[in-house]
Amino acid sequence: MAPVLYMVPYSQPVRATLMTIKALNIEIELQEVSLIDKQQLSSTFTKLNPQHTVPTLVEDDGFVLWESHAIMPYLVDKYGKEDDPLYPKDLRKRATINQRLHFNNGVLFTLNVLGPIIYQGEGTISEEKVSRVREAYAFLETFLDRHKWVAGDWVTIADFAIIATVTSLDVVVPVGEEIYPNVYAWMRRAEGLPYYDENRRGLEIIKNMVTKKLA
């Protein structure tokens, strides 16, 4: 039996996980959980994941793992090549990737610009939030200085995590090419990846959701 991924397609962490799955060519069953209908709070789901978050991975032997930044390294270690460049064995390379993943989880994702719009009906974004997003873009601009990808000169799972978050933030706080040329160029390179459609599909959903909420 194939592993099961509980997900909602527009979620940034889900999109990052789906890109990883596509890059590794893993056969997986997708089970959609409606966050708007609060299906994640059902007793069935909370037995699997008491934090009731997506994505949640369930292996065929019953092993359960949630949090995309834990799932993606696990998938590469289990299903990737012997020393897969997506998450290589070299300690220093991994350390850089881990730092970028923590940056995504601890800085970018905590900006929480879209959640209040989608789930709480907020119709505006404060200048304080916009300023914080732009500060985060500036950090990323520095990471990408003299590098093609966020952890070096090759694609890693850190790119999957951060591109899903940044393209979502870009819906309401655009990444200006003149102000953040490195970030802008990196986004265009990411669009050319053979597994980028896993991000694009969910991103289109979130764009439509936000546009309707802000209309």
Domains of the chain (ranges plus CATH)? 4-79 (3.40.30.10), 91-214 (1.20.1050.10)
pLDDT of residue 181: 98
Cα separation, 54 vs 15, whole angstroms: 10
pLDDT of residue 187: 98
pLDDT of residue 112: 86
Confidence bin at 122 (pLDDT 50/70/90)? confident
Q: How far is CA 132 from CA 56, 94, 137, 160, in A?
A: 29, 27, 9, 22
| pLDDT digit string, tens, across residues 134-166 | 999 999 999 999 999 999 999 999 999 999 999
Active-site annotation, residues: 11
Cα separation, 139 vs 107, whole angstroms: 10
Task: Return the number of other C-beta atoms located less than 10 Å from residue 181's C-beta.
Answer: 13
Report CA dihedral (129, 134, 135, 137) to the nearest 10 degrees. Answer: 130
The answer on pLDDT for 115 being more than 90 is no
Question: Which helix or strand (DSSP H or E) is residue 215 part of?
Answer: none
| pLDDT digit string, tens, across residues 13-61 | 999 999 999 999 999 999 999 887 888 989 999 999 999 999 999 999 9
Tell me the sheet residues that pair with 99. Answer: none
